[in-house]
Amino acid sequence: MIRALVIAAALIVAAFRPAAAGEVEVRYGEWTDPAREGRVVPYKLYVPKGAGPFPLVLHSHGLGGSREASTYLLNAVAEAGYVVATVQHAGSDTGILGGGRPVTEAGVAAAGRTGMTAAAARGRYGDVPFALDRLAADPALAGRIDFGHVGMSGHSYGALSTLTAVGQRLPALPDDTRYAEPRIKAAIAYSPNKPRADDARQAFRRVKTPMMHFTGTEDATPFDLEKSPFERSTPFQAIAGADQYLVILDGGDHALFGARRLEGGRLKPGDPARLEVVKAETIRFWDAYLKNDAGASAELCRLPQRVDPAGDGYVKAARCGPPTPIAPVEGLR
């Protein structure tokens, strides 16, 4: 009853406008959560044209990001037949940069620790179940979303938000199970990190969700605990009991997956090809696990061959045969 009253009390402000591609409608708005001291959660929806229902993908931005994260990727996912919802996390969004100034990597580095507090973490992790509740209660989306097929993705801090939603243990937040979201049936982590102050196998022991992981050979930030970008493969290596896939792109850096350079017109050589790999493998994974597409599922088993020579692909799924050999990271040897 209390949960129903909270949902009923939430404020919805929304408006539709056509996306540039012409096949997807984009809806902007914000929700207000009375149960969390009136926390405001801005959102952006990509809704395919057509009757639906469509599978849902919820996306969480990285530190210093916004609901405009990864537009090129999320619009492509929507065009492939998914409702995509990007939520903006107050306390770890563009607000940490001050005054809504343009997001830069240097600005994020300077202001980033403001968004890495326990309070900011609790806020963003709590945004996930709240957003799913609001989407389910939105009459404008009635019949458009298939809530039996829900996925979540996130970049960097958003990757941690995603892993938390599917069960990663967080020693700094003893009540971390309150953020677990059973409605999520598959997940993608772009630039994930190894767990902080925790044993990797124990940290991911509760994760039983099929996942795709993306990183690159130059994927690093000033806040990393990893000794090398390769250690971002730790979640892939540690998670057991569910199909796992990993792509490591040669030359791929941290900004690649948030697509800030693309939106700013500052692509590095090789970025266009890398972005196409991210887009193609993202959609293939969603098709396999949210649309039960047998062809996509079979193709995922060929990930190492298909990703080459752009990078390395790894598969850990019983249906695909023996796992792809990978050098073990520290703590998993």
Q: For the segment 281-307, what is each residue's pLDDT rounded down to a tens digit?
A: 999 999 999 999 999 999 999 999 999
Q: How far apart are CA 170 and CA 195, in angstroms?
A: 8
CA distance 82 to 53: 9
User: What residues form DSSP beta bridges with 211?
Assistant: 187, 244
Residue 225 lies in a domain: yes
Backbone φ and ψ for 267, nearest 5 degrees, come out as -60, 140
pLDDT at res. 98? 66
Query: Span 59-81, mean pLDDT?
Result: 94
- Comparing 80-89, 125-134, 253-262, 320-329, the range with the smallest average pLDDT is 253-262
Q: Please tell me the total count of domains within the chain.
A: 1
Let me know: does 123 contact 39? Beta carbons within 8 Å: yes
Which residues of the chain form beta strands (DSSP E)?
Answer: 11-18, 24-33, 39-48, 54-60, 83-87, 145-155, 184-190, 211-218, 244-253, 311-316
Angle value at C-alpha 203, between 254 and 297, nearest 5 degrees: 65
Average of per-residue pLDDT across 255-272: 80
Establish if 329 belongs to a structural domain. Answer: no
Q: Is residue 166 part of a domain?
A: yes
CA-CA distances (angstroms) from residue 73 to 89, 100, 256, 258?
19, 23, 11, 9
- Maximum separation of any 2 CA atoms in the chain, in Å: 55
Q: Is pLDDT above 70 for 111?
A: no
Using an 8 Å Cβ cutoff, are 178 and 122 in contact?
no
332's enclosing H/E stretch is none
How much is the pLDDT for 268?
Answer: 84
Q: What is the pLDDT of residue 258?
A: 83
Residue 94: what pLDDT? 84
- Answer yes or no: is pLDDT of 75 > 50: yes
In which band, very low, low, confident or very high, does the pLDDT at 5 lie, cut at 50, 70 and 90?
very low
With vertex at residue 248, the alpha carbon angle to CA 245 and CA 249, rounded to the nearest 5 degrees, is 135
For residue 244, being part of any structural domain is answered with: yes
Provide the pairing of β-strand 83-87 with 39-48: antiparallel
37, part of any domain: yes
142 found inside a domain: yes
| Residue 232 domain boundaries | 2-320
The reported pTM is 0.90
Q: Has residue 333 been placed in a domain?
A: no
pLDDT for 7 equals 34
Model pLDDT, residue 22? 45
The yes-or-no verdict on residue 264 having pLDDT over 70 is no
pLDDT attached to residue 12: 30
Question: Can you give the CATH number for the domain in which 280 is found?
Answer: 3.40.50.1820
pLDDT at residue 10, rounded to an integer: 35
Bridge partners for 45 per DSSP: 27, 85
Does 102 score more than 70 pLDDT?
no
pLDDT at residue 15 is higher than 50: no
| pLDDT band per the 50, 70, 90 thresholds, residue 126 | very high
Which DSSP string corresponds to 136-176?
HH-GGGTTTEEEEEEEEEEETHHHHHHHHHTT---TT-TTG
Structure tokens belonging to residue 130: 């709240």
